[in-house]
Amino acid sequence: MTVRSGSDSVYVVACSGEFDQDTVGLLQAACDREVAGCELLVLDVKNVSFADSSFLNTLIRLRNTRPLALAGPLPDQLHRLLELTGALPLFEVREDGGRTG
């Protein structure tokens, strides 16, 4: 997972690999530590190979505490998770990889 600063207080967190109850804490910690006070947090999720309900809960918590967008394209498994749970409409999905203008 990497964190990089974009333009105008936009931070991008690139997520890759598997996210479950054992690993999702790293994402939460990175977002809390590195990007506190940002105007927009973009999670680049195109390289997420697996995500479970722990990852979904983290996404919802992040969304509820700051402006959040997901940079895609969304992997099939993550798209299915968001779609089946009815959570997909909660998130802005940027298919362009998170570029901001």
The enclosing domain of 54 has a CATH number of: 3.30.750.24
Structure confidence at residue 30 as a pLDDT band (50, 70, 90)? confident
Residues of the domain holding 86? 2-94
Percent of the chain with pLDDT over 90: 63
User: Number of folded domains in the chain?
Assistant: 1
Asked whether residue 101 is domain-assigned, the answer is no
pTM, rounded to two decimals: 0.84
Residue 37 φ/ψ region, left for φ over 0, alpha for ψ in the -120 to 50 degree band, beta for the rest: left
pLDDT computed for residue 21 by the predictor: 94
Q: Where are the alpha helices (DSSP H) in the chain?
A: 24-34, 53-65, 76-84
Residue 79 lies in a domain: yes
